[in-house]
Amino acid sequence: MGKHYTASKNRTQGRDGWSIIFRHPARLDPSTGRPGRRVRRGLGTSDDTEADALVEQLNEILRTPSLWEPLARHKAAALYDSRVVDVFYEGLEAARTDFRSIRD
């Protein structure tokens, strides 16, 4: 069984808003080449209760390996807050390349 990562909230000194910190199970850590890249993103809220709810939603995604695939984003979007979905799937989906413009 693989590692289970968890998310936590953090507030930078001197700032009102909460951030979320977690190790991403599907993104490679550039220093080790292994899954578990550290991610820190702002949650867009200064409300403690709302931040706790968003952290719990992200922890549900982290406990559900079937949601770690880029194609599962639509399913996650139906279940969780858009901020949580954006944080988790950012950088996970491959960018579409326009080969025709590159060739020209």
Instruction: Give me the tens of pLDDT residue by residue for the chain, a chain 104 residues long.
Output: 456 899 999 998 888 999 999 999 999 999 999 999 999 999 999 999 999 999 999 999 999 999 999 999 999 999 999 999 999 999 887 655 556 666 65
- In order, the DSSP letters of 66-90 are GGSSGGGHHHHHHHS-HHHHHHHHT
37: domain range?
8-94
pTM for the whole thing?
A: 0.84
Q: Where are the beta strands (DSSP E) in the chain?
A: 8-10, 19-28, 35-42
In a domain? residue 101: no
Using CA of residue 17, residue 23, residue 28, residue 32, what is the dihedral sign?
positive
pLDDT of residue 95: 53
Number of domains the chain is built from: 1
pLDDT of residue 14: 82
